[in-house]
Amino acid sequence: MTRTRTLAAGTALLATAALLAGCSSSSGGGAGGATTGASTGGGGATGSSSSAAAGGGKLGKVVYIPGLTGNPFYNTVACGGQTEANKLGVSFAYQGAPTFDVSKQTSIVNSVAATKPGAIMISITDPKAMIAPLTAAKRQGIKIIGIDGDLSDKSVMTTNIQSNGETGGMLAGQALAKAVGYKGDVMAIDNATGSVVAEARDIGFKKAIAKYPNMKFLGIQYSNNDISKAASIASSTATSNSKLVGIFGVETNNTQGALTGVREANKQQQVKVVGYDTSDPIVAALKNGSLTGTVVQNPRGEGVLGVQSAVKAMKGESVPRNQTADAIFVTPANVNSAKAKQYIYDVNCKG
């Protein structure tokens, strides 16, 4: 989420609270205004056990540092990681900043590295800026496991686990093209420039739209990951451009904002919205039919694979440098299917 994924402040706080309640929280307050949730194995998602503590002592703790806390994708990664850590008998913790911020994530990496965990699982905020702090951690013998985003320097991470953003963007573009009858103007709303993950999604979307000569891609506008800004962009564009028929929300907040803006402009019948990732409002929009569809990754699976990879690396076993996670496209027609329910993000660690 990439990953540049976030919710409005109230939703973020609720999601974070839900995750920490499900994953046995420790006293909060890491570096850079961080929120910390730690758990050390045991029965279910809460509590701890001596066997887990012993396992963690042998191999070292696995700490997951998300792009930000309170985000459905990252929370679900943590749920998957915690579940797998419980099974393998290793200590697991979740610590991150409440905003998607390079400097805050750097401070958290430095703070976590000082505790000398066996491995850091991380969803990076920037592919270049995070090289230095993660390299420093690696020099201390800490294994670096990437979740949903690689560094520009491929030598730092032991592995990176990520779905194919370009493929996901193409799924969104193809679905939107079909929904609008393969004609009309479409646009994308993204967070900001510089994200490799978002760029891949944008490329895939543009490639899909380019296949249809009667469709025109108007380009990308940026919301700085703000739902209200995304809503304003969607509303103003839908109002000013009578040919606009579709919007691609490249991340969670932009999908939610696009839906809000289209509704505020009273253009629900004319302008279709497709998105990336899920949240409670996005699932609700799928169920009421206001969202054409959204690309849904498998963050729980990425969390599971991340911990498995961390444990192998700490044991000195080989781990593939690049590991691919899958994704599906969820629509109003299949949102209640068993498969969709396996993928839709789970901030309460119930899956």
> Quick one: average pLDDT of 289-309?
96
Average the pLDDT over each of 24-33, 57-66, 189-198, 327-336 and give the range with the smallest value: 24-33
Running DSSP on this structure, what letter comes out for residue 70? S
Helix (H) or strand (E) holding 162: strand 159-163
Decide if pLDDT at 35 tops 70.
no
Percent of the chain predicted with pLDDT > 90: 75
Higher pLDDT, 345 or 9: 345
Lowest-confidence region among 12-16, 284-288, 313-317: 12-16
Q: Are residues 56 and 138 in the same domain?
A: yes
Residues 258 and 269 in one domain: yes
- Is 342 among the domain residues? no
If one counts the domains in the chain, the total is 2
Mean pLDDT over all residues of the chain?
A: 86
E-strand stretches of 179-285? 184-190, 215-222, 244-249, 272-276
Q: Determine, yes or no, domain membership for 54.
A: yes
Q: What is the pLDDT of residue 265?
A: 97
Answer whether residue 326 shows pLDDT above 50.
yes
Q: Tell me whether residue 15 is exposed, middle or buried, using C-beta atoms within 10 angstroms of its C-beta: 0 to 12, 13 to 18, 19 or more.
A: buried
Query: What's the confidence (pLDDT) of residue 26?
Result: 33
d(Cα 234, Cα 236) in Å, to the nearest integer? 6
- In b/e form, how buried is each residue of 179-208, taking b as 16+ CB within 10 angstroms? bbeeebbbbbbbbeeebbbbbbbbebbbeb
Check whether 52 has a pLDDT greater than 50. Answer: no
- Residue 170, judged by CB atoms within 10 A of its CB (0-12, 13-18, 19+), counts as buried
pLDDT at 130: 97
Structure confidence at residue 21 (pLDDT): 39
Confidence band of 2 (pLDDT split at 50, 70, 90): very low
Give domain status of residue 281, yes or no.
no
Mark whether 176 and 155 lie in a shared domain: no
pLDDT tens, position by position, 188-209:
999 988 788 899 999 999 999 9
According to the model, what pLDDT value does residue 351 have?
Answer: 59
Is the per-residue pLDDT at 27 higher than 60?
no
Residue recorded with tokens 């194919």: 164
- Residue 246's φ and ψ, nearest 5 degrees, are -160, 150
Using the structure block, give the residue that is written with the tokens 């294994």.
Answer: 143
253-293 per-position pLDDT tens digit: 999 999 999 999 999 999 999 999 999 999 999 999 999 99
Maximum alpha-carbon separation in the chain: 64
Residues 171 and 267 in one domain: yes
For residues 224 and 245, membership in a common domain is answered with yes
> How far is residue 251's CA from residue 226's CA, in Å, rounded to a whole number?
11
Task: Supply the range of the domain harboring residue 311.
Answer: 9-162+298-325
CB 220 within 8 A of CB 172: no
pTM of the model: 0.76
Residue pLDDT, tens place only, 103-150: 999 999 999 999 999 999 999 999 999 999 999 999 999 999 999 999
| Residue 346 located in a structural domain | no
The residue type of 258 is: A
If asked whether residues 68 and 169 sit together in one domain, one would say no
Q: What is the pLDDT of residue 346?
A: 79
Average pLDDT over residues 311-326: 96
